Structures are given as structure tokens and as C-alpha cells.
Amino acid sequence: MEKTKKSIWILSLIVMAFTGCQKSNHFTLNGSVVGKTDGHIVLDLGGKKIETKIEEGHFYFEVPKVQTDLAHIVIGGEKFPFFIENTALKITLYTDSLDKSIVLGSELHSACDKFKKQEDEFMRDLFLKMKKYELADEEQKDKYFRVLFKEREDEAKKFINQYLNTPLAPYLIHYRFKLSMGADELQNWFNQCSTKAKESATGIMLQTFITNKKNLKIGKPYIDFACRDREGRDVKFSSVFNDKKIIILDFWASWCAPCRQEAKNILKIYNELNDKGLDVFSVSIDKDEEKWLKALDHDGLPWHNLIQDTDINDNTPSVLYNVDAIPAIFILSGDGTILARDLRGEELNEFCKNYISID
């Protein structure tokens, strides 16, 4: 009897040890959802996706241990980025405003939130000071605000440099300095990151951005890509260059009011210069295809209209062309050379007319 009890006790220890071993290879991610949902939620770990159901406003994932990196929660077709670490995490998702969602348990995500809060506070304070100094001497005002921008830039760099060994550094470099820094300066800073940071999802994202920025300078050749037209056929950007003198590449979306307004200007340019060698190639970043089609029908845009896939990767047109804000407009010559970018309104009109008359 004693021998049997001892055997059962030893077996229990083995089972507990095995179970503990199994559990140590996982961590939990649970949370709640505030707002409307379709009842499904996906955890996107980059190379792996885990799906679960939302029950009574709550969800639960048991996650295999991963490298600390940027992950995404996908809900209702929208993505919420957050830093995942091998520790229990709790997330509160607000479906009507995912960027206000709260992550508890991730030190990197807390640091990221802190940085973004500092940026927001700086911009709010800057706006108030701009109103206060509205009537001040222009030269003095310019000098004063240059000092403010420099101080905040130095603070941001100091903050980011604390995390060069983590995926947070490349993420924040891209978030804060992608527009204000040149490709070489970004590359030099990125080179200071650890190998772990460089090989993370955010590191790969930043390196792709830098490479594309180098390749998209004025005078450089275009980057080819393919997108779907309204009939679902894949169309290559290169197909538009046949016998054309100048091409406008326009990134836009149906929900973007400035894009729709600029489309009216491009339509006037197209009607005036199409028979003289101008063509337009529009790429929508819409996630709702029906709204894209409705906008096309409403606005009557007669040129090449394509939509990129919602599954974003390194070959997505908006990624290849470093589109961080729309409308994003590139002007190319008939041989595919980038002539100019981000011209709008009358400036775009005059550029196209002058180029065609010179050519």
C-alpha cells in the first residue's frame, strides 16, 4: 500500500513537472473589448496568427514564447500595434478608437506610450505659444521656435538612445524622424542599434524605409509594382509608361477629403494634357473596396485606378513609396525617372505643362 502511494506521488510530481514545463513555454494575453465587434479577434505575431473568440466582451490567448517585438491585434479589419514581451499581458481595446487602447504588462509598450504622450504635450504647448507670439517679429519668432524644436528633438533622441538594444528604438526613430531626417542620417543612427533590434520586425521596417528613401530621390528610377483594378485584374505600374511623356502617380483614399479635392485638380490637368502625353496612375489605400468603387463612380476619374491589398508587406505600393500621409503624389518622366513629388494644385499644373512644353 505504501509502495503504491509512493508510486502515485512520484507520478504526480512527474506530471506536475511536465505540465510546469509546458506552461513555461507560454504566457497569457487577455483583455476586454469596449465597443462593437463581430466576435472574432486575431493576434498577429508576424509569421504566426492566433485566432480566438470574444465572449461577453472578453478574450484570452495562450501565446508561445516569442522574441520581444512589435505585434498586432486585428479586430474588425483594423490593426492595433503593441510591444509583446514574454510576460502576462492585459489589453483593453476601444474599437471606435484603437489608438486609445491600453496595454498593461509590457515595459516597452509603456515606454512607447510615454514617448508619444511627450510628443503630444509638446505639440499642444507649441500651438499655444504660436498663438501667443502670433504678432511678434517674424525673425525673433522664427529663432524662438527653432530653439524649441531643437530642444524637443534632443530630448527625443536622448529618450530613444536608451532603447538601442530593443525593437522600440527603430520603431520610434521611424515614428519621430522619418520625415525630418535624410536617409544617410537615419542609416547612421540605425547602425547604432543592436543586432537584436535590427533583426526585429521594427528594425526590418526601418531598414526598408531607409532603403526606399534612398531609392526615391529626385532623379532616381521608379519602383515597379502591381495592384488590382476594379475588375480584379493585376495591373503593373510599368504598363502605363508606353509612349507617355509624364506620369502622375497618386496615392489616395476615399475617406481622405484633401485627396478627393486634389483629384479634381488632377482631373483638370488630365483633360488638358492627356492627348499631349500625360497619364495618371492612382493607387487607393482604402480597406473598404466598396467605398473605393463608390468614390470612383462619384468622382468620375477616367485614368488607371487601382487598389492595394490590405495585407501590408514590403512589396505593398505605399510601403515601396514610403507613403506616410496622403495625398502622396509623384511625378515621373516617360522613361520612369522621378522628376518631383508632393506637388499639388496650381504648382502641379504648372510643372506638368512646363515639362511637356520643354520635352
In order of their start, the domains of the chain are 2-105 (2.60.40.10), 108-215 (no CATH), 226-358 (3.40.30.10)
Nearby residues of 74 by Cβ (< 8 Å), 6 or more positions away: 41, 42, 43, 44, 49, 80
State how far Cα 56 lies from the chain centre.
31
pLDDT tens-digit profile, the chain (359 residues): 545 444 443 444 344 344 444 446 888 899 999 998 888 999 999 878 999 999 999 999 998 888 889 999 999 888 899 999 988 999 999 999 998 999 999 999 999 999 999 999 998 988 888 777 776 677 777 788 888 889 999 999 999 999 999 999 999 999 999 878 888 999 999 999 999 999 999 999 999 989 988 888 889 999 999 999 989 899 999 988 888 899 999 999 999 999 999 999 999 999 999 999 999 999 999 988 999 999 999 999 999 999 998 777 778 899 889 888 899 999 999 999 999 988 999 999 999 999 988 65
Beta strand 304-307 pairing with 278-284: parallel
How does DSSP assign 55-124, residue by residue? BTTEEEEEEE---SEEEEEEETTEEEEEEE-SS-EEEEEETT-GGG-EEES-HHHHHHHHHHHHHHHHHH
The pTM of the full predicted model, rounded to 2 decimals, is 0.73
How far apart are the C-alpha atoms of 160 and 121, rounded to whole Å? 17
Separation of alpha carbons 275 and 273, rounded Å? 6
Q: Three-state SS for 250?
A: strand
Cβ-based neighbours of 243, under 8 Å, separated by 6 or more: 277, 334
